[in-house]
Structure 1
Amino acid sequence: MLDARARLKRVLRDELERRDSLEVDTPALIRSGDFEPNIALFRVSSPDGSPAGSLHSSPELMMKRLLCAHPTLPGIHYLGPVFRAGEAGARHNPEFTMLEWYETGSDLDAAISTTLELIQAARQALDLTPAPVAHRDYGLLFRERLGLDPYHADTAMLQRTAHLSGISVHEPGRLDRDDWLDLLMSTVIEPSFPDDRLTVVKGFPASQAAMARLETIDFEEHRVRVAARFEVFGGKLELANGYHELADPAEQAERLPDPAKSGTDGRSRRLFLEALEHGLPDCSGVAMGFDRLLMWLTEQPTLDTVLPFSERRV
């Protein structure tokens, strides 16, 4: 497994460098960074007990700031550790390895193409044949599996559908509409994906990607606003999440969480928005779970089996 990890890192770096992407470093210790409401950060204290920041859950903000400062770069990538508190289980570990990259002049379809090429190159590096690929629409998946329109169904309907699907929630009143959609996606739809196939899903609701551009699609005789976002699954396992990145600073400011509500000083948010004012080049961005990719490629049942030191062995 150590050999497979090393080979996988090497091929991913080689493939991105072949595209003239530059590997960059970003700080693991950042000031706040509460941009994802469902991700808990590790808080860090100085020796005197005063707050010193948080361990980053993604290099996204810093990488976009680098692109704003150097917009002529064809692309940049990061391969290294990220940290998320409270995430431990068969598919999660509080510290894990992430591959994140940004390609300038790239839209969503180009990002999907790069992602699939990287995964197929990884398979080849581990002496595996190319995996078949299926492209699916988010709305059609919900219609086929659950008989509902995910863009217009209200919270009560989603809750009833979850109940009829055998999903039990301890405090259902604490879940909002997007929580119910995520729950149905992860417990009903994703488990239906074939194990040996790559499944690409597009058409996520606009509310589910605060840092992606928005676009309009046709769904069941309606015009629907969706996020320019995709996810790639290896079998039933989510491997990658990508956006056509939002570059408009005013729109981005409206769609980011209010730092006052999260109890943070908003420094990371402010510096990021100032960078967008300087100008983010047209680009796509993708985050891929390196350990999850290795887990799928080697057909391992848990993340623990592909990590040199998981949480339980540290």
Structure 2
Amino acid sequence: MSEEQNLNEVLRVRREKLKKLKEMGRDPYKVEKYERTAFSADIKENFEKYEGKEVSIAGRIMAKRTMGKATFIDILDKDGRIQSYVRKDALGEEEYEIFTTYDIGDIVGIKGTVFKTKKQEISVRANEVKLLCKSLQVLPEKWHGLKDPDLRYRQRYVDLIVNPKVKETFLKRNKIIKAIREFLDSKGFLEVETPILNTIAGGAAARPFITHHNTLDIDMYLRIANELYLKRLIVGGFDAVYEMGRMFRNEGMSIKHNPEYTAMEVYVAYKDYEYMMELTENLVAYCAEKANGTTVVNYQGTEIDFKPPWRRVSMHDLVKEKTGIDFYAFESDEEARKVAKEKLKLEVENHMTKGHLVNLAFEEFCEKDLIQPTFVLHHPVEVSPLAKRNPDNSAITNRFEAFVNTWEIANAFSELNDPIDQRQRFEEQLKQREAGDDEAHMMDEDFLNALEVGLPPTGGLGIGIDRLVMLLTDSPSIRDVILFPTMKPID
């Protein structure tokens, strides 16, 4: 008999068992609740407190070993596994016979006393076993395991059952998100919520998802960022706000990119990008400590230390150091494009300026060397349409990106609050859209109106939560830190 035929036979037998249980008036799906008085980890960690006491536990059968008139089963609950010892003379002959038909994967409730076996394993000696849910499928490890990572992401519910480390990752993710809120709340920040459906896709350079509102008969966009709404709140008088939530970008998928992902943006009135740098490094170090007890993590074999202060270096200096070319020294954009094409072999487009080329060269030649936490400063104004210009050099902005393990994990700047300058930059972005750049900003008249009402000097910050969680949990793919990542449908 082939493995597939064997599996089909097992599934048929499980359904037969369920049918018999229903005929006996023991339909497990009619059970509505089960009162638990203890959990596996608590019993194991506090054995002296529980020894000899009656407890009520519940969970999934993960292993089963029958030896004559007694059976050992491993029960998996929210905290982990615990063994239960089930004897025929404790349950009675009829109940024990029914119990022996239960399968790995079934969910049961057990009442019994806590004791240690001869092998010193903490266990529960059952005096009652109740079937709470019949599993009609076979857990993967029984047959071929979860060898296919694609299947793990598609059937995360099974992944969580058979791979304990997966559950640990998401428990740690929860710790990190709690730590972020603790850190910001303790500094007086207000957590807010802003729209996910927008009439204008703004706040970032990205391709949006487009949907349609039937009643209004207009196209709308899933947000690519929440920046412009949060800055409106600073205009309205809130001094420090943040929002953590889902963002949506209709772009490529990779180990670092999921179309739907979690990001956080933070805005503080009367502060600048220097303040945001300190906030970023201290926030990330706080999260590392809360998640792992140290600022040092080992990510895929590389030791990374998040302890502040992090290295600070300008984008222009990095490019000049790596390529030997000072793009701002050229007299014209045309001359700069020619050198970028011929000497650096970059794919240059006709609309690109010196600033665009600095950014392009940085992405091509510099990002790959940024392993330890590094703040890259002073991005060209052409690629920073919402950032304040540097007062000493109008070609660059007071902006930074934080890089770790070659990835950008944060982006921040002193916010542009000059409505005239902002309008000019939006207009320049519109020209870029007309030239074929569908990631360039749209015009947002209401945001310009808010700036005309008056935005105080403000520092802003965006952090990619999923990438941060990847680093702090040693997860190789963004899909490992998103419970249900985007997957291509199975045909």
TM-score, normalised with respect to structure 2: 0.56
Matching residue within 78, 81, 87 for 2:243: 78
Q: Is the 8 A contact 2:316 2:358 kept in 1?
A: no
Contact 1:81 1:97 in 2 (8 A): yes
Query: Are 1:140 and 2:317 counterparts?
Result: yes
* Per-residue deviation, residues 245-265 of structure 1 (Å, max 9, x unmatched): 11111111111146876589x
Evaluate the alpha carbon distance shift between residue 225 and residue 48 of structure 1 in structure 2; reply closer, same or farther with a 3 A threshold: closer
Tell me if structure 1 keeps the 8 A contact 2:356–2:383.
Answer: no
User: 1:138-287 residue pairs with structure 2 within 5 A?
Assistant: 138-153=315-330, 154-163=336-345, 169=347, 172-173=348-349, 176-177=352-353, 179-194=356-371, 197-217=372-392, 225-257=395-427, 262=433, 269-287=444-462
Question: How many equivalent pairs are there?
Answer: 297
- Identify which of structures 1 and 2 has the higher relative contact order when contacts are C-alpha pairs closer than 8 Å and 6+ apart: 1
Q: What RMSD in Å do the two structures reach over aligned CA positions?
A: 2.6
CA distance 1:83–1:235, shift in 2 (3 Å): same
Aligned to 1:64: 231
Give deviations 1:167-207, integer Å, cap 9, x for gaps. Answer: 6x5xx54672455433322232011123xx21011121222
Give the secondary structure class of the aligned counterpart of 2:257. coil
Segment of structure 1 superposing worse, 206-215 or 124-133: 124-133
Q: Which moved more, 1:293-302 or 1:57-66?
A: 293-302
Q: Which amino acid aligns with 2:224?
A: S
The Cα offsets for residues 2-56 of structure 1, whole Å up to 9 and x where unpaired, read as: 11111111000111111111001000001122565x4111111134894331011
Q: Which runs of no fewer than 5 residues in structure 2 stay unpaired? A: 1-168, 296-304, 331-335
Match of 1:131 among 295, 298, 306: 306
What corresponds to 1:220 in structure 2? Answer: none
- Name the CA distance, whole Å, in 1 between partners of 2:394 and 2:446: 32
CA distance in 2, matches of 1:267, 1:182: 21
Counterpart residue identity of residue 183, structure 1: L
Q: In structure 2, what residue type is equivalent to 1:32? A: I
CA contact (8 A) 1:75 1:103 kept: yes
Structure 1: how far apart are the matches of 2:445 and 2:428?
11
1:152/1:49 CA distance change after superposition, 3 Å? farther
Q: CA deviation at 1:157?
A: 1.5
